[in-house]
Structure 1
């Protein structure tokens, strides 16, 4: 399958004010996005993620490298390339707050060259699909943040573009509305054959709806893999043992030498120790330490790793079980 978006060797630097020093926001970023997938684009603040997003959208011009959208270079043939992509920026900046819900849909349809009659049926379908029908005559500035976000996505749908780029689509939403937006995004891909690139700090959203994620840190891609593969890298790795007493100084020294990243908490009656295992057989080394003073084990629990933990491990450079950058 041919990619619908190709990002190759992208670089972007900014000159600091009043100095000759340059900040390399994006150093050498390359990845591809395929039709019909939901791709998560992640990175800590200052990692280069937002700069990359803006270059894909045509809001910034790269210093070097290229971006092809549906086979068209977005620098050499900018307008043709950008016809294939719609963006929903954080803060709902693609809405007019002094227009009603319906007026926003009609206005942005007009910007795309469609008349009211031409898109009337489509607007009705979007109002129904996004549960906005009862609010169609409400001014946008009177809507809840969740309603505004749903309208912003509906506006992006009007363009019939193959790719929709969403910047923090669930930021500031309550739990119920966040889940509603997630289901809408899944439906867009499933029923409308669209491709979605989503930038989000909500790791639950990424884990729930994205098939693959590209993680950027310090201007470079540090991993590019399916979410399910990243989850497997760190599964069955962390154990928490509840002990029937405290460990001795000798046991603590052995624990520190064998498991330097361990966590140990104790009171007069009970203690807990949490360890990350490089190999599952290392659990026997832990048991040997406990057996030394016949420390009773009251419970053994395996920590369930979520995507937020995995993200932090990857950004910190932990490799998991053979973590490599892939595509």
Structure 2
């Protein structure tokens, strides 16, 4: 599987208005996206993610570095490069609100040089697939947020580009429509071999849809890995121990001293202690502490960690030197 997008050493510096202060929004970012992948492009607010997205879409020029889309430099040959990618920006901004659902599809097809006659069967297919057929004569400004979002994605698909970039595709949707959009996106990649890049703050969506994630923080790529592998790495280190008695002061002090990430729920009939281990063998240290007062252990459970927890730990730097350190310690 070859790469459809290659981002190589891109940087972007902004100068604050009315001052000489410069802000490094993107700092030497590099990554690749393979054909047919569904990836999450993530980052907290101010991390440089939005700037990176705009540079991929050709809305901003990098100060240095290169972006290739299907082998075409999107700065030197912008229009040719952008024929391979379509984007759905947050807020359904790629729709005309005073046109109907069908008119939007036909209009944007015409923008790409395709006649209404030639696109008719494709429009019909998309109306059915996105369950918009009964709304085809409705003005977009009268549609629900969910209907507008589905139409925006349908417009992007109509372009038949190899890459679709989606910014917050499920933002503000009700639960039912949100799950419907998820299934549509999965089908896009699986059935049509499209490459889908999703930027979202909804980590459940990323965990459900994406195979791989690229996390940007403070202008740099801090993680580029398969979501399944990230979940496994963190899951094996997280344990919850149900105790038959409360810990004494000495035990609490030793746990606080030896385990940087722990939580002790003492206000329960059966107290619970949750710990994260840098190495799985560190659990023996914990048992030694419990043995000091012969504290009974009622149950040991490996925590089922969600991707949102993984994301927060990575961007907060709670993995010390990032995922590479976690990997080296788990080998």
Distance change in 2, residues 1:111/1:321 (3 Å):
closer
Aligned counterparts of 1:281 and 1:62: Cα–Cα separation in 2: 46
Given that 1:246 and 1:267 are in contact with CA atoms closer than 8 Å, whether structure 2 keeps it comes out as no
1:259-298, Cα deviation, whole Å (9 max, x unpaired):
2322112137432211111222222222222222122222
Partner of 1:220: 220
Partner of 1:141: 141
Aligned counterparts of 1:124 and 1:268: Cα–Cα separation in 2: 59
Q: How does 1:81-230 map to 2 (within 5 A)?
A: 81-230=81-230
Given that 1:10 and 1:30 are in contact with CA atoms closer than 8 Å, whether structure 2 keeps it comes out as yes
Given that 1:233 and 1:321 are in contact with CA atoms closer than 8 Å, whether structure 2 keeps it comes out as no
Aligned counterparts of 1:83 and 1:320: Cα–Cα separation in 2: 36
Aligned counterparts of 2:294 and 2:46: Cα–Cα separation in 1: 50
Partner of 2:39: 39
1:51-78, Cα deviation, whole Å (9 max, x unpaired):
0000110111111111111111111111
1:16-41, Cα deviation, whole Å (9 max, x unpaired):
01111111100111111111111110
Partner of 1:80: 80
Stretches of 4+ aligned residues off by more than 6 angstroms: none
Aligned counterparts of 2:268 and 2:218: Cα–Cα separation in 1: 45
Decide which moves more: 224-233 or 42-51: 224-233
Q: How does 1:52-71 map to 2 (within 5 A)?
A: 52-71=52-71
Distance change in 2, residues 1:40/1:306 (3 Å):
same
Partner of 1:288: 288
TM-score, normalization by structure 2: 0.94
Kindly state the Cα deviation for residue 323 of structure 1 after the two structures are TM-superposed. 4.2
Aligned counterparts of 1:324 and 1:267: Cα–Cα separation in 2: 35
Q: How does 1:1-16 map to 2 (within 5 A)?
A: 1-16=1-16
Kindly state the Cα deviation for residue 238 of structure 1 after the two structures are TM-superposed. 1.2
Aligned counterparts of 2:53 and 2:278: Cα–Cα separation in 1: 36
Gapped regions of structure 1 (runs ≥ 5): none
TM-score, normalization by structure 1: 0.95
SS at match of 1:30: strand
Match status 1:279 vs 2:267: no
Kindly state the Cα deviation for residue 303 of structure 1 after the two structures are TM-superposed. 1.0
Given that 2:70 and 2:81 are in contact with CA atoms closer than 8 Å, whether structure 1 keeps it comes out as yes
Distance change in 2, residues 1:320/1:298 (3 Å):
farther
Match status 1:267 vs 2:270: no
Kindly state the Cα deviation for residue 177 of structure 1 after the two structures are TM-superposed. 1.1
Aligned counterparts of 2:52 and 2:280: Cα–Cα separation in 1: 39
Partner of 1:322: 325
Given that 1:165 and 1:197 are in contact with CA atoms closer than 8 Å, whether structure 2 keeps it comes out as yes
Decide which moves more: 315-324 or 36-45: 315-324
CA RMSD of aligned residues (A): 1.6
Aligned counterparts of 2:72 and 2:268: Cα–Cα separation in 1: 68
Aligned counterparts of 1:268 and 1:67: Cα–Cα separation in 2: 55
SS at match of 1:264: strand
Distance change in 2, residues 1:78/1:250 (3 Å):
same
Distance change in 2, residues 1:127/1:268 (3 Å):
closer
Aligned counterparts of 2:112 and 2:327: Cα–Cα separation in 1: 43
Given that 2:223 and 2:323 are in contact with CA atoms closer than 8 Å, whether structure 1 keeps it comes out as no
Kindly state the Cα deviation for residue 321 of structure 1 after the two structures are TM-superposed. 7.2
Partner of 1:237: 237
Matched residue pairs, number?
A: 325
SS at match of 2:275: strand
